[in-house]
Structure 1
Amino acid sequence: MIRIELAPETLDDIDRFIDHLARHKIVDAAARVQEILEAIQILSRSPLIGRPVRDGKRELVVGKDSRGYVALYRCF
């Protein structure tokens, strides 16, 4: 199984995301964060699941429509 390391700035991204959800009074903010973290865990089993973008990076699309997010990552 592949190990996943989150970049230090990821915590800042999550904080900004939670603040955004709070400002817009989204009631299931914790569930949305959990959904993103669970999707990232899928990368430990299927690291090439995301579509290739640039500079050796890939992006994993999590959710859809207004609940859609993109996680940018790189396989080493």
Structure 2
Amino acid sequence: MSQQLCRVEYALDAREDLIRLSMFHQDNLELANHILFVISDGIDLLKKHPLVGRQLPNGLRELVISHGSTGYLARYQYDELANLVLVLAIKHQREVDYH
């Protein structure tokens, strides 16, 4: 029997984070698109494995998305009853905080 995939949605802050992170490479459209692909591909893992991220306080989780020698962090909530992952924020690992 196949496992039902979780729905993944992005909160407004997370969508704004994607724009902000791609703007770091606004002079190189190919690299900006690659960064967006790496992040979205990493987050797609949550469709099958919503508990893969490390557990944080207040029911939050954090997914590490590797990219080269660094990567990105995605903070999210998983609602098991709704079978929903809500991505709340995304940042580069070298950034101090999410917002």
TM-score interval (norm. to shorter): 0.7 to 0.9
Q: Which runs of 5+ in 2 are unaligned?
A: 80-99
Q: How many residues align?
A: 74
Quick one: which of 15, 22, 30 aligns to 1:18? 22
Q: Which runs of 5+ in 1 are unaligned?
A: none
Stretches (4+) displaced over 2 A: none
Q: RCO higher in 1 or 2 (8 Å CA, sep ≥ 6)?
A: 2
RMSD: 1.8
Instruction: Please tell me whether Structure 1 or Structure 2 has the larger radius of gyration of its CA atoms.
Output: 2
Percent identical residues: 30
- Greater per-residue helix proportion: 1
Mean Cα displacement is larger for which, 29-38 or 57-66? 57-66
Match of 2:59 in 1: 56
Query: Normalising by the residue count of structure 1, what TM-score does the alignment of the two structures yield?
Result: 0.83
Deviations 1:25-66 (A, max 9, x none): 585221111010011111010001000012110100001423
- Greater per-residue strand proportion: 2
